[in-house]
Structure 1
Amino acid sequence: MNPKGFFGELKRRNVYKVAVAYAVVSWLLIQVATQVFPFFEIPNWAVRLVVLLLILGFPVALILSWAFEITPEGKSAVTPRQSQAATSVPEKSIAVLPFDNLSDDKSNAYFAEGIQDEILTRLSKIADLKVISRSSTQKYKSAPDNLREVGKQLGVANLLEGSVQKIANAVHVNVQLIRAATDEHVWAESYNRKLDDVFGVEGEVASTIADQLNAKLTGAEQKAVAAKPTHNTPAYDAYLRGLAIEHTQYGYEAYQQAAREYGEAVQLDPNFAFAWARLAVLRSFLFFNAIDPNTNTAGAVKEAADHAMALAPEAGESWIAQGAYRYRVLRDFAGAVTAYKQAQIRLPNNSYLLQNLAFVQRRLGLWQEAEATYKKALELNPRDFQLLGSLGGEFYTFLRRFDDARAAMDRALEISPESASVRASKAVTFQNEGRLDKAAEELARVPADVMEDFVLTPRINQALYERHFDTASSIIERKLSSIPGGQPLDPVTELALVQLGYCQQWMGRDAEARQSFSCAIEAIKPKPDSPVQADANGTPSTLALAYAGIGEKEKALEQAQRAVEAYENDAVSKPYSQIALAQIQARFGDVDAASGIRFEKIRGLRNLSPNLNPSELAGLTT
């Protein structure tokens, strides 16, 4: 046994405190016995008996204090499993808590967040450390009251607190490293720098922390930790604004704004590799979801990723950008895995990287590998409700492991009870089991004014599964009316427009249905020769369903088959494209062909109500 760890465990379990308290109480009892017993003519052997019992009781008290922890609520038994968990926290583990923004101008909060994030990023490049991701720490205060509990929740031995004050061209950064179990301040330092000289602070802090925790750095790690990303102050400021948007906001508009900030950063400093890398990642995401395709082109993503790699070929961030390009643009999933694993060598503590690696492994049908990668990401990001929601909704649900999916989502909801996305994903698990009453209960807990895509789709599907076509139509029309005039539809809304057309058909409103289908076709394919790329939302299949809606059989079948071919090597999206093809075949009377698309296998991988049978595919469009 490690002597240092053993004595630390003695302290953690209050054994020292119990020993001191027992000695003091015993001394008092002996004093009372020697003074009072003779007064009552109690024989001397009684005094000796008291002393003997107290001596014998000492080791018993220590043993009990080892087995039972003293807490404010009383004694709590320590099970072997709890003991193992307590001692399994690595000494070289750390979480960086949110930094306080002490600037009078509260709009400078992004700057404090950026300094915190850059210190965290540099620490995460050290393989000898365990570093908890920002997503798990951002909900804590900068200086929480119960550090021991925070350390326990995050699974770390050390916490870094800090503050940043920006006044005109001056920056004051204060940091302190604290041992979570004991509140011991291990190290503290203040840095006063000019704004154009602040770039080196993050590296200095990370290097000192590594020294304090006795972490061993390779030569490459030392270089990566100390590297200054840019010497251009305005470019760095734009880069930090982009990071702050990414970390505090979610949605297509937020990511477009963050991409604009990164674009400004590389315009100000064309040699800013990390800004190019983040620009490539965000544009790849927007490309993948068909958002502003005129800006987020395949060429724009490639340009940004290639710039990052040319400027910093050994940086993990550059390899993440390459992985994003190969995954989302080229759809070269095997190549993306290779790139992400190269990034992992350089960024051993990056949960974002691991989550994206898991995404790609799913696409390749490597389900066991993807699950293991998800779990590694959770070790570094244990309190990220979005990661837990993704594990449940975008992994276990696809495998119809609904109990596991809900267990992950329930953990997410414990952390973020108001998360509409996780609640809606939980409803989907019940829909897939045909438990529509339970699904309705979950959806009822989502505020009615939430109209984001991740809630829209389950609500529409719930109404369709219940055959409440008027309700589905109302949900879709409300969504359409909320979109500003002239704003392009995103792929989820395009699918909703097609679903609206089918609902209108089933309610006998054929003219309105034809108009909905035509609008969807024009939105997806504004020109006859416009390419319809395979994306994250099955847009090629959506177009096929729209053609089917207006009765263009040949176009519908050709487009549906083309979609199946486009997703041939995609284990996540291929089943959806097969479902769409089967729906169209059944709609035009070829039920036998629809039945031949290995219906049970499709059902096993995608969101499909178990109440359906092949003959019903002619009527349902989701």
Structure 2
Amino acid sequence: ELTPEGLKRDAEVDRSRSIASRTGQRMNVMIGVLLVLALTYLVLDRFVLAPSRSAVPQVAGPASETTDATPVAAKAASPIAAKSIAVLPFENLSADRDNDYFASGMQDMILTKLVGIGDLKVISRTSTQKYTSRPDNLRTVAQELGVATILEGSVQKSGNAVLINVQLIDAASDSHLWAEAYQRTLDNLFGVEGEVAQKIADALKAKLTSAESLSVARVATRNPAAYDAFLKAEYQYEQARESWNTEDYRNAEAGYREAIALDPDYALAYARLAYGMLTRHWFSTGLSDEEMASAKAAIERALALEPDLPEAHLAQGFYDYWGFRRYDAATVQFERTLALAPNNVQAINGLGYIARRTGKVEQALDYFQKALTLSPREAETTSSLGETYAMLRRYAKADQYLSRALAIAPDDANSKDLLLQVRLFGSGDSTAAREILRQPPDWRFDAMRRWGGDVYFVVNPRVYPDLMDRRFDAAVRAWDAAPVATDEDRLAARVARVVIRIVAGDAAPPVAECRELDAQVRDGLRSQPESLGLLQLASWIDVCLGRRAEAVATAEKAVALLPLSKDGYFGTNQLSGLAQIAAHAGATDRALEVIRQLLTMPAGTLMSIGRLERDPVWDPLRQDPRFQALLKPGSQETEDAAHG
């Protein structure tokens, strides 16, 4: 807060002397005085506050606690590079809390510049966001993040006036390496992030190539309204990234489009718009052909404006990967991104995802471990490691990393679903699995109906523990209470209840309802003939109606649409779904053939001996001696299966 003595944290202010209510009115007048006071404050912080900060033993906030959630990379005693830095969240000192986006955006823009400096190790934004702006024990924070230096900052914005304070701190000695205050207006704010990045590089004696120097100095836009709209869009995107909610993604996209409308030459806004759309496509609601074309056009415009823009090459890589599974083309773009921005975690993760989908699962682990050194407290990378260990049926390791991901981001829906699978299908512990669902459940209807394949996705992770425990009535009741809001949601709920009854072995399946559902699903397939989700529903409805050959043929079509040669990761999901349909359609030989195949592959998220033993979906095969042989020790399951 702004006080008569200068800038102070709220906790230091005597409330009787607070002048927050007058700050907004006087900001433009006092900004010059504030600059002097801010510099004085930095000196005081260096010689007065720093020693007291070192003396405080506790760590501020849960994100700083050394628990099992602390990444292995942070716990290891490996030497810390001198030219390494983490940028902590910038503190919003404005009276208006609506300016949080601006403080967040300044941190993000500085990071964007630093990531492109190859001589530095730069920790990703997602690993620093859970920390306070000014943690009490800076040394502990630096150790957790694996860095030698920390950048702290604050932003005070009122009207057109902006005051930005930054200080680079050596974590071992808690001493300042460099500090500066920037007094600007919105009209001449452009380039501050580049100035800060260059000063940091100078302080750390980092050597920049000529291309890196040009990139650091480049100004993305000189339109203040466009810049403001962009920062708001980035803030909204971060919210979408945590919620995986379609509307949150769309809100961010609208912000990027506003920035582009204000500055048609804003290359970074085009690149981020495309990346946001592609993220929505992969994790939430699939893009239409028109939307995919729009994303491609945005990438092309960004590259036309700035051919060496790392964010544009990153977006192109995910366009090839998420849009069309063109792995070779995507790999080229991710490698180009890393050539331009060596600390770009998304590009490293992208290479890991591709390695996983092309069957190079051990190589994928190497990529994710590398990403974890740059993002030790990021849920996505930590979760990806856990998921990859689950694929290899190293379930104890998978549980460790997925639990860690949820300690970092407790609301991360994807990590919840993956940990649920590990505990249900790996350890067979439905009680431990239910612990994950204590919070109000996120049904993720959009994602579930797109994936198809395994019955796990049509029944829904929120309900599957009841199915595994043969509490079929409870599973149906859960769907009765599900928050369905659209026609698609209602269709999913109705089919799920039918499938639960089929798996339960009900003697009289709801044939009349299945005929009605059949008409709806077939109508959907006429307009979306390659929808994996609709093909999944159609195959189960065929089983309900006694159309056994058609059921297997429909499941085989889904496998043909996403063969292992096209997707060695999610193609296993379609194979698992085929085995389940074949089992319930009386095609026992085909079911057993596919199960044997999956047991010899890195398909542990869905196929394991533990699941075969317990899951009622396999009951039609349970009395077959060939199936029973698969459950014995030394069967064809890969060697990692029972070893955690």
> Which range, TM-score by smaller chain?
0.7 to 0.9
- In the other structure, the counterpart of 2:574 is 577
2:481 aligned residue (471, 478, 481): 478
Q: Where do residues 591-602 of structure 1 align in structure 2 (5 Å cutoff)? A: 591-597=588-594, 599-601=596-598
CA distance in 2, matches of 1:583, 1:163: 56
Change (3 A) 1:305 1:148: same
Q: What residue identity is the alignment partner of 2:558?
A: A
CA distances 1:462-507 after superposition (whole Å, capped 9, x unpaired): 222222221222222322xx23346x54xxx976653322124444
CA distances 1:201-235 after superposition (whole Å, capped 9, x unpaired): 00100011001100000111111111111122222
CA distance in 2, matches of 1:512, 1:264: 50
Q: Where do residues 344-363 of structure 1 align in structure 2 (5 Å cutoff)? A: 344-363=338-357
- In the other structure, the counterpart of 1:234 is 225
2:391 aligned residue (393, 398, 421): 398
CA distances 1:537-578 after superposition (whole Å, capped 9, x unpaired): x66444433444444456544432222122121011111111
2:364 aligned residue (370, 375, 392): 370
Change (3 A) 1:533 1:82: closer
Per-residue deviation at 1:518?
A: 3.9
Q: Does 1:590 align with 2:587?
A: yes
Three-state SS of the structure 2 residue aligned to 1:301 is: helix
Q: Where do residues 81-92 of structure 1 align in structure 2 (5 Å cutoff)? A: 88-92=79-83
- In the other structure, the counterpart of 2:526 is 528
Contact kept, 8 Å, 1:277 with 1:304, in 2: the verdict is: yes
Per-residue deviation at 1:163?
A: 0.8
Normalised by the size of structure 1, how large is the TM-score?
0.78
1:409 aligned residue (394, 397, 402): 402
Q: What residue identity is the alignment partner of 1:311?
A: L
Three-state SS of the structure 1 residue aligned to 2:463 is: helix
Three-state SS of the structure 1 residue aligned to 2:150 is: strand
Per-residue deviation at 1:99?
A: 0.4
Q: Where do residues 48-447 of structure 1 align in structure 2 (5 Å cutoff)? A: 88-248=79-239, 249-252=242-245, 253-289=247-283, 291=285, 293-294=287-288, 297-392=291-386, 394-415=387-408, 422-433=415-426, 435-436=427-428, 438-447=429-438
CA distance in 2, matches of 1:396, 1:188: 43
Q: What residue identity is the alignment partner of 2:419?
A: K
CA distances 1:263-305 after superposition (whole Å, capped 9, x unpaired): 2222222221111111112212222356164587322222222
Change (3 A) 1:199 1:513: farther
- In the other structure, the counterpart of 1:467 is 470
- In the other structure, the counterpart of 2:52 is none
Task: Kindly name which structure, 1 or 2, has the bigger radius of gyration based on alpha carbons.
Answer: 1
Q: Which has the higher contact order (CA 8 A, sep 6+)?
A: 2
Change (3 A) 1:496 1:461: farther
% same residue: 36
Per-residue deviation at 1:143?
A: 1.1
Range with greater deviation from structure 2 (553-562 or 172-181): 553-562
Three-state SS of the structure 1 residue aligned to 2:460 is: helix
Per-residue deviation at 1:390?
A: 2.8
Q: What residue identity is the alignment partner of 1:467?
A: R
Per-residue deviation at 1:406?
A: 1.5
Show structure 2 runs of 5+ residues with no match: 1-54, 59-71, 449-456, 622-644
Change (3 A) 1:560 1:414: closer
Change (3 A) 1:260 1:441: same
Change (3 A) 1:495 1:71: same
CA distance in 2, matches of 1:72, 1:113: 28
Range with greater deviation from structure 2 (470-479 or 323-332): 470-479
Change (3 A) 1:484 1:322: same
CA distances 1:233-265 after superposition (whole Å, capped 9, x unpaired): 222222111211222442123222212211222
Q: Does 1:562 align with 2:562?
A: no
Change (3 A) 1:301 1:500: farther
Per-residue deviation at 1:599?
A: 2.7
Normalised by the size of structure 2, how large is the TM-score?
0.75
Contact kept, 8 Å, 1:472 with 1:503, in 2: the verdict is: yes
Q: What residue identity is the alignment partner of 2:514?
A: R
Change (3 A) 1:448 1:155: closer
CA distance in 2, matches of 1:237, 1:466: 52
CA distance in 2, matches of 1:472, 1:415: 30
Per-residue deviation at 1:587?
A: 2.7
CA distance in 2, matches of 1:356, 1:242: 23
Contact kept, 8 Å, 2:74 with 2:146, in 1: the verdict is: no
CA distance in 2, matches of 1:494, 1:159: 51
- In the other structure, the counterpart of 2:495 is 498
Per-residue deviation at 1:529?
A: 3.7
- Backbone CA RMSD of aligned residues: 3.2
- In the other structure, the counterpart of 2:606 is 607
CA distance in 2, matches of 1:258, 1:238: 10
Change (3 A) 1:603 1:243: farther
Contact kept, 8 Å, 1:286 with 1:296, in 2: the verdict is: no
